[in-house]
Amino acid sequence: MQSDKALAIVEKQLKKPRYEHTVRVMETSIKLAEKYGADVKKAETAAIFHDYAKYRPLEEMQRWIEKEQLPKDLLQYHHELWHGPVGALMIEREVGIRDPDVLHAITVHTTGCAGMSVLDKVVFLADYIEPGRAFPGVDEVRKVSEDDLDKACWMASRNTINMLVSLHRKVYPDTFHAYNDLLNPNGGNA
């Protein structure tokens, strides 16, 4: 699918600031994909559609989780996590994108997971460091992303966990799994 057509589809689903975020994530994903050897077209597509379900009603997303083959434990965690996995299913059914790599990158773009592909890492990190983001620690992660994709993703996971803990919020297990996996990406004990 051409990027202009994909962006037109997504623009109808998002509020203006979220659409602008999506364009920045797309641009950042393309740069990271080129730098780290991910498929640039897949990175572009996953980035464009990563927030496709962001503004769907919570009741609708809950129904998708309950009725489809999605992890039911999602319902025990903050609804901000739902739009990735639900969005991947919606994109497959409503838009016709069936590439498993693209769909997986969309699914894990918020939580991360153990064993992330380079494409998964690119979209996960682009969403975190896109130029419109401004929060403690993001500039440090941006700097590290220039030289080390794994370390930058690990730092993003660490920062997310620290933020959630400081707010006394639950941390989704896949985020811990991503953190642990990225801590020592070549295997062995940390």
pLDDT in tens, the chain (190 residues): 899 999 999 999 999 999 999 999 999 999 999 999 999 999 999 999 999 999 999 999 999 999 998 999 999 999 999 999 999 999 999 999 999 999 999 999 999 999 999 999 999 999 999 999 999 999 999 999 999 999 999 999 999 999 999 999 999 999 999 999 998 766 544 4
CB 2 within 8 A of CB 45: no
pTM of the predicted protein model: 0.94
- Domains in the chain, CATH or no CATH each: 3-133 (1.10.3210.10)
Burial 111-148 (b: 16+ CB within 10 A, else e): bbbeebebbbbbbbbbbbbbeebeeeebeebbebbeee
Residue 67 burial by CB count (10 A; 0-12/13-18/19+): exposed, middle or buried? exposed
pLDDT at 188: 44
Give me the phi and psi of 70, to 5 degrees please: -115, 155
pLDDT on residue 69: 85
